[in-house]
Structure 1
Amino acid sequence: MLFLLSPAKSLDYDSPLPEGLPHTAPTFMAQAARLIDVLREKSPQDIASLMSISDPLAALNVARYAAWRARATTANARQAVLAFNGDVYEGLQAQSLSRADLDWAQQHLAILSGLYGVLRPLDLLQPYRLEMGTRLATDAGANLYQFWGKTIAEHLNQRLAADVTPVVVNLASQEYFKSVDRRTLKARVIECVFEDFKGGQYKIISFYAKRARGLMARYAIERRVTTPHQLEGFDLEGYAFDPGASTPERLVFRRKSA
């Protein structure tokens, strides 16, 4: 079983890291280097327009592309699960996971990335910004979905090859999950949906849903979840499985108040 997460726009390269934490190299560094070469051809104004970001943020990322190196080290990078710092990762709280938890996550968690394709939690991540939905033209096509093609799905298939009944639990956004070619993927896909009660009805509230995806990933890591049925016990921060609103491929978790 593999759990998929989206990356985060916010990055943390300042918080102290645990002593002696292991690290690994991203699988698709060659592809990332190709994308960096394309990005380095863009001016700050090009990046601002392409990504719909401010001029200062565009300048920051142009500097990041210039500093990016084909070989990551602990001097210019840190483990992905500790570098990402958005709502999902506030729910995951990876910095408080044990070494054994991180080892398990390394085998069962995959972070989708516009630049790196797929990252394992301990893969070294250099600072960057490149959302999967960015219409960055390359020699492979007009956007990143065409650039990655079947690569991500084939990689997930390889990681699931030893499973008798392979399952992917999608905790990523639709923007990122679209990078997984469903015709190529040879696994059952289960989506987890998190709803809060507001205005007299249950609905998905983006901030809470993102945090809950990280909470679910932490729940799975700490309990070594290996079957879809085990996910139904998720109860962090007041959520509870709602069997009436769920289907076998779409597990719905609800709570009355945040």
Structure 2
Amino acid sequence: MLVLLSPAKTLDMSPVDRPATDPRLLDHTRQLAGVLKKKSPADLSELMSISDKLADLNFERFQAFQPAPVGKPALLAFKGDVYQDLEAADFSPQEFTFANQQLRILSGFYGILRPADLMQAYRLEMGTRLTTVRGANLYEFWGDRLTQLLDRDLQEEGSGLMLNLASKEYFRSLDPAGINGRILNIDFREKRKGKYRFITFNAKRARGRMARLITLEGIRTAEPLKELVVNDYVYSDEQSAGDNWTFVKD
């Protein structure tokens, strides 16, 4: 089973002692870096709708970008809501190896990252309307490259199952028709005023917790997921349909 995650804006780039691998789409990342290095802080502020302070920080990051594969393993560099509940820093070597086989992080800058892939500090959301020679946004820049790479990973992994724990913004970078396997979409909803609603912050944390439980328990197939209790969310057959599974909490 391949598990898809979104990246995070919050980063921790302090060094760690873990095995590392090279990002597989680094040539394309270098092209993006070349475009972004030409942007001023004011350009970045407008492009990303961020504050001047954040624009200055990311201007410095893009100027400092190195074309060689350097940095920190991606699963340990991201520190946003998803990754707080994933708690990858305490994985044993065996658990980290399992995570590296099973987890894939979609990225506007790196395309697809495996947990051990080295990444440098960046901010570039997949929905950013960055104009390149390939088009007017990052979806057009990446084209079908992400779908093709994930499909190849899925065939090599052998289960034929892809678990979508990514946000809509990032999953949109893929063409489901190009994935030769089953895609299982997971939704987390909680009861508010008599209705089950999607609460962004809590759903993000639950995505990370589910990825953690999958790693700790070595889950490779779909059915065991129904038995998981994920931050008090439980599988609901009533709220689920086909390959769109919903976990709920009251």
TM-score range, shorter chain: over 0.9
- Is the aligned partner of 1:156 residue 2:150? yes
Task: Report the counterpart of residue 28 of structure 2 in structure 1.
Answer: 31
Amino acid at match of 2:93: R
Instruction: Report the alpha carbon displacement of residue 149 of structure 1 after superposing the two structures with TM.
Output: 0.6
Distance 1:103 1:165 in 2: 17
Structure 1 residue 196: Cα displacement = 1.4
Q: Deviations over 1:109-158 (max 9, x none)?
A: 00000000000001111000100000001111111001111100100111
What amino acid does structure 2 have at the position aligned with 1:108? Q
Quote the Cα distance in structure 1 between the aligned partners of 2:81 and 2:146. 24
Residue matched to 1:122:
116
The CA distance in 1 between the partners of 2:85 and 2:35, in whole Å, is 34
- Between Structure 1 and Structure 2, the one with more strand by share is 2
SS of alignment partner, residue 57 of structure 2: helix
The one-letter amino acid paired with 2:69 is: A
Q: How far apart are residue 165 of structure 1 and its match?
A: 5.1
Question: How is 1:1-258 mapped onto 2 (pairs within 5 angstroms)?
Answer: 1-14=1-14, 17=16, 20-73=17-70, 77-162=71-156, 166-256=160-250
Does the Cα contact within 8 Å between 2:159 and 2:220 map onto a contact in 1?
no
Q: Which runs of 5+ in 1 are unaligned?
A: none
Contact 1:13 1:78 in 2 (8 A): yes
Give the aligned residue type for 1:5.
L
In 1: Cα distance, 2:159 partner to 2:85 partner: 28
Q: Using the alignment, how far apart are the partners of 1:109 and 1:243 within structure 2?
A: 25
- For 1:156, give the aligned amino acid: L
Kept in 2, the 8 Å contact 1:149–1:181? The answer is no
**Percent identity between the aligned chains?**
43
**RMSD value over aligned CA atoms?**
1.2
Distance (whole Å) between structure 1 residues aligned to residue 159 and residue 4 of structure 2: 17
In 1, distance between residues paired with 2:33 and 2:157? 35
Count matched residues: 250
Gaps of 5+ in 2: none
CA contact (8 A) 2:233 2:248 kept: yes
TM-score normalised over the length of structure 2: 0.97
Contact 2:23 2:113 in 1 (8 A): yes
Runs (4+) off by over 4 Å? none
